[in-house]
Amino acid sequence: MAYTNDDEALQQWPIECRDDALQYLKMSHEMVKKLLEALMGNLGVELDDSNIDVFIGKKMVNMNFYPTCLNPELTVSVGRHSDIGTLTILLQDGIGGLYVKVPEEADMENKGEWVEIPPIPGAIVINVGDMLQIWSNGRYKSAEHRVRTTSTKSRVSIPIFVSPQATQKIAPFPQVVEKDGVARYSEFVFADYMNSFFGNAHDGKKSLEFAKAN
């Protein structure tokens, strides 16, 4: 059922924030569904009640607090990484400090550079996660990002990590593999991917090496 996980997620929130948090979760659920319908539809994969849970198996809400740091140059804050799930919905306050790396292989002047994602009032950031990269056989790229602190202002961000269930088997969709003529990733269980990710220090998009086809 759509909101079973939201109830679980809500238990982490202070009681006076739960109404707002529930609105945020419900809004994110509908938005993620629409985004995935478009993204997967584009690859020839129809989303319906029978397979939606593969993509939105679990939602986890985090609350990140970044205190001021006297010498931000000496801290990592959040090191460069990609989120491992399907999509991440990120609400950030007005302080700034979130950077995304323009992929080296992008056909853009600033390829390889870190670009700040400025806070825009009323806007949220959506990150593609590693699982979407794998399902799409590498057509959608997970976003490599990092966070820097400042010496003057603390910062708060609230990501919702949308991911498969731990027991979900993951592999590139056959529809895409057929078109591409090659499977760029091998099949695995999501729990094993998580163990590999959390068992290693953040190192950009190295997390994806776990799934690379030989």
Ligand X SMILES: O=C(O)CCC(=O)C(=O)O
Identify which of residues 67 and 181 has a Cβ nearer to ligand X in the complex. Answer: 67
For residue 81, the minimal CB distance to Fe ion (Å) is 6
| Cα-to-chain-centroid distance, residue 44 | 22
The pair of three-digit structure tokens given for residue 162, joined into one six-digit string: 């949308």
d(CA 149, CA 155): 8
Site for ligand X in 33-62 (CB under 6 A): 62
Q: Does the footprint of ligand X cover residue 157 (CB under 6 A)?
A: yes
Return d(Cα 176, Cα 138) in angstroms, integer.
Answer: 10
Question: How many residues in the shown chain lie near ligand X by CB under 6 A?
Answer: 11
Interface positions with Fe ion (CB under 5 A): 83
* Contact range with ligand X by CB under 6 A, out of 2-10, 11-19, 28-36, 90-98: 90-98
Instruction: Calculate Rg over the CA atoms of the chain.
Output: 18
Closest CA to 98 of 141, 151, 158, 146: 146
Q: How many CA atoms lie within 13 A of 207 on its CB side?
A: 30
Tokens 């609350």 correspond to: 63
Which of the residues 118 through 147 are near ligand X (CB under 6 A)? 145, 147
Judged by beta carbon distances under 5 to 8 A according to partner kind, the member of ligand X, Fe ion, none in contact with residue 136 is: none
Residue with tokens 């629409």: 34
> C-beta of 165: minimal distance to ligand X in Å?
19
92 touches ligand X by CB under 6 A: yes
Cβ pair 87, 127 in contact under 8 A: yes
**Min separation Cβ 129 and ligand X, Å:** 10
The bridge status of strand 155-163 relative to strand 64-66 is antiparallel
Q: Which residue is nearest to ligand X (CB)?
A: 157
CA pair distance 198, 11, nearest whole angstrom: 23
Shortest separation between residue 178's beta carbon and ligand X, angstroms: 33
Q: Does 83 bind ligand X (CB under 6 A)?
A: yes
**Spatial contact of 98 and 92, defined as CB atoms under 8 Å apart:** yes
Considering the complex, state which of residue 47 and residue 98 has its C-beta at the smaller distance from ligand X.
Answer: 98
Which of 39, 98, 134, 162 binds ligand X (CB under 6 A)? It is: 98
Report the partner that residue 92 touches, choosing among ligand X, Fe ion, none (CB closer than 5 to 8 A by kind).
ligand X
* Residues that bind ligand X in the complex, under the rule CB under 6 A: 62, 64, 78, 83, 90, 92, 98, 145, 147, 157, 159
